[in-house]
Amino acid sequence: MADLDDIREGKDFGLDKPLETSGFYLKGCDHLDWGIKDRLSRIFRPDTGRTVMLAFDHGFIMGPTSGLERIDLNIVPIAKYADCLMAARGIIRSSIPPLLQKPICLRSDAGSSILTELNHNVVLDVTDAARLNASALAIMVAIGDSATEAKTVANLYKAVDEGQKFGIPVMGVTAVGKDMARDAKYFSLASRICAENGANVVKTYYCEGFEKVTASCPVPIVIAGGKKLPELEALELAYRAIDQGAAGVDMGRNVFQSEAPAAMIQAVSGVVHDNLKPDQAFDLFQTLKAS
């Protein structure tokens, strides 16, 4: 209980200074709850409004793929250069030191592997995400896959409902199957459906006409790195995406399968946060690689 012996009446109410009501710095996030905004501000740097996410959740369907044989040797040494880590809960608990103090985008659905038909996933219990202090939940959505579209949209909807209870934002991850076109029409459709169903962030792929995808999506978009590219090409991909409205990148193989992963993620960060051109970022990569 407060000490009642010296109670002083308030007198400085700043009557000549209206309360500032500036909007939140991320697209489409002005009206979100405080907890969701707080978590998003851990993922997206407030000074740039952008993020470099390091994705290494591939093992949840691929197992020990190249570059992820040993998380302690391959990922932990470069994690400090990322703004956010995207991984599955088992790897986080077993291999990521809490002292890194990096926000986690938790892979929150699972159920199939590369040995079976993909996308037959179920959503993990949101209370486990809370126990892990996750800053976001990542849910895959397979728009255009007749076997799994309705199920994965329902997964997203459920995750948003559950995330709201704990103030945890949700990232909708657009899947690309063999029958899904990799073009602006498809990615605009898939991204918008994710946002319409409550996703606070969308992860999708870069494509020709990408500015249409970002313009038609009312929440921040981060791009997936996709398959391994030569370093300069990956930096060009990141640059084009940011230039056309992306709020960041979520790269995995183009970082951890690079010949110099630590140099590569720093070069990507240079593009995303420092507006480096691809050739400038590649020069940075070469310098850091040689040091």
Question: So which residues are the catalytic ones?
Answer: 203
Among 239, 226, 221, residue whose Cα is nearest residue 49: 221
Q: Which of 25, 30, 52, 33 is nearest to 168 (CA)?
A: 33
Question: Helix %, strand %, coil % for the chain, to 5?
Answer: 40, 15, 45
What does residue 6 show for φ and ψ, rounded to 5 degrees? -135, 75
Query: CA geometry: angle at 225 spanning 220 and 229, to 5°?
Result: 150
- Reference 57, options 67, 43, 47; nearest CA is 67
Which helix (H) or strand (E) segment holds residue 141: the answer is: strand 136-141
- Enter the tokens of residue 142: 């397979």
